[in-house]
């Protein structure tokens, strides 16, 4: 069983900052990738940032230069530092992990989501 638990969402004014945290727990063999997606009301879930272990990092064009993803592999934790937030960043943010547990192929796991609201 794998759990992804997010924290750090909230209400912030435009131009402000927030830091999201996602802690992964469970019977983990390896983590292929971790990242963040978001979904605004009436819209599809979209990639915000994703870090592939030992490889590359992807960012949505809309957040490049403002958001930074980082990982603490010793703690199986991923962070999303969000600076210069804009009202259009308002969404429910979901932690994502492509994880392999013992004796099981890689599987995509999701957190429960944390709400980020940016007021103008």
Q: What is the pLDDT of residue 57?
A: 95
- Position 103 scores a pLDDT of 85
At 37 the pLDDT is: 98
pLDDT at 54: 83
pLDDT of residue 15: 98
Question: Following DSSP, what letter does each residue of 2-61 receive, concatenated?
Answer: EEEEEE--EEEETT--EEEEEEEEESEEEEEEEEEEEE-TTS--EEEEEEETTS-EEE-G
Distance CA 88, CA 100 (A): 34
pLDDT in tens, 56-104: 999 999 999 999 999 999 999 999 999 999 999 999 999 999 999 988 8
pLDDT of residue 80: 98
pLDDT at 104: 85
Task: Please say if the pLDDT value at position 1 is more than 90.
Answer: no
H or E element, residue 80: strand 77-82
Average pLDDT over residues 20-44: 96
Mean pLDDT of the chain: 96
């Amino acid at each position: 069983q794998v759990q992804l638990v997010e924290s750090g969402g909230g209400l912030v004014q435009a131009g402000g900052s927030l830091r999201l945290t996602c802690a992964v727990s469970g019977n983990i063999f390896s983590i292929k990738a971790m990242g963040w997606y978001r979904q605004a009301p009436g819209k599809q879930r979209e990639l915000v940032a994703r870090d592939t272990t030992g490889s590359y990092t992807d960012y949505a064009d809309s957040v490049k230069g403002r958001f930074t993803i980082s990982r603490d592999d010793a703690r199986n934790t991923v962070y999303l530092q969000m600076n210069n937030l804009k009202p259009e960043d308002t969404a429910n943010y979901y932690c994502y992990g492509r994880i392999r547990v013992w004796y099981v192929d890689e599987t995509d796991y999701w957190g429960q989501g944390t709400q980020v609201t940016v007021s103008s």
